[in-house]
Every structure is written in structure tokens, then in C-alpha cells.
Amino acid sequence: DVKVTQSSRYLVKRTGEKVFLECVQDMDHENMFWYRQDPGLGLRLIYFSYDVKMKEKGDIPEGYSVSREKKERFSLILESASTNQTSMYLCASSVPGTSGGLPYEQYFGPGTRLTVT
């Protein structure tokens, strides 16, 4: 079974702090993703990575950066946390996609609920 783990389930940080959220997957997946989930807004993509050291911005990258130094690990960094970054953060991984009929299912971690005060 694919396993995606996240470093913390709950995190409380102060405004202005630098915050690191870590994600590790054990299935040798090329693709990794960071989402934030807010009520009524679904899952919104922050950043994704399709290979080591490769990253691309998602729909809401402002205020975030990422790092992928090893294939199994994808980190989300909040350079200076703000209260509007209080949210549930979900990491996911998947095999790479090519055009075709396969689902390229994304496997999600349990999430980190971050509160910025």
C-alpha cells in the first residue's frame, strides 16, 4: 500500500515565523503535490513537483515555497506565516501521467492543520 506521511497533524505558529511542512511517500512516485483545504473551497493546489529539484506553481503559490531534494520528500515552506495561512495542508503523490485512460490516482497524506496566531 502507498503510504504518504506528513510531519505533524496539528501545528500552531505565530505570525511571522518560518514554517516547514514535511511530506514523505514510500512508493517511488515522481509526482508530489501540496494543497490547502478550506471549507467551501475544496482542495487548491499550491505547488507541485514532477521530479527531484523540479517544481511548478499551482493556483495559489503566493506566500509559499517548496523544496524537493530527494524523490520521496517534498517540503512546503511558509517564509513568514500569516493568519490567512491558517488552513488544512494536504500532501499527495502519484505516478507520472501520460495521455491515456489511466486514473493517475493521487494518494494523500493525513494532513496538517496549521493555525497561525
Partner 1 sequence: GQSLEQPSEVTAVEGAIVQINCTYQTSGFYGLSWYQQHDGGAPTFLSYNGLDGLEETGRFSSFLSRSDSYGYLLLQELQMKDSASYFCAVRDRSWGKLQFGAGTQVVVTP
Strands (E), 39-97: 42-51, 54-57, 64-70, 73-78, 87-94
Binding site for partner 1 (CB under 8 A): 4, 31, 33, 35, 40-45, 48, 50, 58, 90, 92, 94-111
Least separation in angstroms between residue 95's CB and partner 1 is 7
Least separation in angstroms between residue 103's CB and partner 1 is 3
Residue closer to partner 1 (CB basis): 2 or 17: 2
Residues 70 and 17: their CA atoms lie apart, in Å, by 25
Residue closer to partner 1 (CB basis): 81 or 91: 91
Residue closer to partner 1 (CB basis): 17 or 72: 72
Q: How far is CA 25 from the centre of its chain?
A: 12
Would you say 3 and 53 are in contact if contact means Cβ atoms under 8 Å apart? no
